[in-house]
Amino acid sequence: MSAEIKNLEPKAIWENFYLLTQVPRPSNHEEKAREAVMNWAKEHNLDAMMDEVGNIIIKKAATPGMENRMGCILQGHLDMVPQKNDDTVHDFENDPIDAFIDGDWVTARGTTLGADNGMGVAAGMAILTATDIPHGPIEVLITATEETGMDGAEGLKAGILNGDILLNLDSEDEGELYVGCAGGIDGNFGFNYKEDAVPAGMKALKLSLKGLKGGHSGMDIILGRGNSNKLLFRFMKDAHKEFGMRLASIQGGSLRNAIPRESFAVVLVPEANVAAFEAKIKENEAIYKAELSAVEPTLAFFAEACDMPTSVIEEKVQINLTHAVLACPNGVERMSDSMAGTVETSNNLAFVESKDGKITINCLLRSSVETAKEALVQAMTSVFELAGADSIEFTGEYPGWKPNMDSPILKAMQETYNGMFGKIPEIKAIHAGLECGLLGSVYPNWDMISFGPTIRSPHSPDEKVKIDTVIKFWDFLKETLKNVPTK
């Protein structure tokens, strides 16, 4: 059971993380978690407040002799990505996360774990209640609704926080310090459709393409994992041409910041073509498995008989939608010239759904180069214009975070880590939307670094955090606070 994680070291972090697993906190439904954190702060006689957008700010004075140190803001986000396996029964708005120890890792049963960014929040809480850690003035900033739009960072007001250094605790590789991140923008596209009558002589089938790993659309996009939407529409294009397949409904992916793992479609096929159609599915499954053998070993593609739908999507829109999905850029567009091994620009074709006469397509574009992001917007606009989309909109843009290699806290943390572990930590920029870009635009004086324990497969039900790296992360955080530069 999940309570076993409270006995792990460092208990200061794991007890707080356990608390977070017991309260619902999917993005846009963080009310119970906010209440739990505010009650926790009250129980510990901490100076806590909540701003108008749901950010929680908790302050702690410097320990004796450390009053002359620069003030540090420890920052993480409260919400988590709600993803579960298809066969897992879980209500993210009401049910606790069932975390458990699996060898060297902590993971969850069939759902996301919420280590992104529960570990960062739990660490900030642990610092607030510690009595044996020397530190300067501390402020813990727990932001709201990061995963679906960085609402908390977007709504943070100037003048509330007094610190000089931001330690963002939302990175996922222990031993690495992040000094920059990509900016992003949401792509939203729509096709309106009429409902045609079901043609005679057809059989209804539900297509399921599932078993993919998915993952974080920023961190994991470089891994070349399959996109269930792309693979399903790749099949449907040929199936329409060869067998006269008609599309009744489509539902692929779930969240724009998660690589889609599962896509489903209800289709109609002429009864005379069903056997050949099903053979084509097996053929495509074998092709996909061969192409993605190294990254998607559990991929599955199959059809099952289902109830006859009352209508089908008009054929012209079906064709245009298929063209758009297949032509839309997806995955890595360009690698960085300045930071080897780092993605510069990417797109995640995350979500496709038909409902009530409209097909919705959602994407998340990322780039550390603003002009490259603009070029990708232009390319995707052209794709959907040519495909006859009825709506094309880009929203929720947020800035990247430009590296500062002359950062005083970067130098201090490099020296601290080297002194503790005998090596210099790697300095990197991340192809994900850390809140540092937005927060730095409100507080331009902040010197910013992001770091954390090792987390794998965030934004997917395979999410897990490596136990021994939490110990190193905690020890490094404590030692960093001791070595913060003076004012």
Catalytic residues: 79, 146
Q: State the amino acid at position 127 in one-letter form.
A: I
Find the distance separating the first CA and the last CA of the chain, reported in whole Å.
46
Distance in angstroms (rounded) separating the CA atoms of residues 257 and 351: 10
Can you point out the beta strands (E) in 211-309? 246-252, 263-270, 300-305
Assess contact for 393 and 363: CB atoms under 8 A: no
Is 30 buried (19+), middle (13-18) or exposed (0-12) by CB count in 10 A?
buried
For CA atoms 380, 383, 386, 390, the dihedral sign is: negative
Exposure of 427 in the CB half-sphere (CA atoms within 13 A): 19
Assess contact for 176 and 426: CB atoms under 8 A: yes
Residues in Cβ contact with 436 at an 8 Å cutoff, skipping those fewer than 6 apart: 166, 168, 181, 401, 448, 450
Q: State the amino acid at position 72 in one-letter form.
A: C
For CA atoms 309, 313, 314, 320, the dihedral sign is: negative
Tell me the β-bridge partners of 192: 358
* C-alpha of 120 from chain center: 15
Q: Look up residue 309 and give its DSSP letter.
A: P
DSSP 473-485: HHHHHHHHHHTPP
For 4, list phi and psi in degrees, rounded to 5: -60, -25
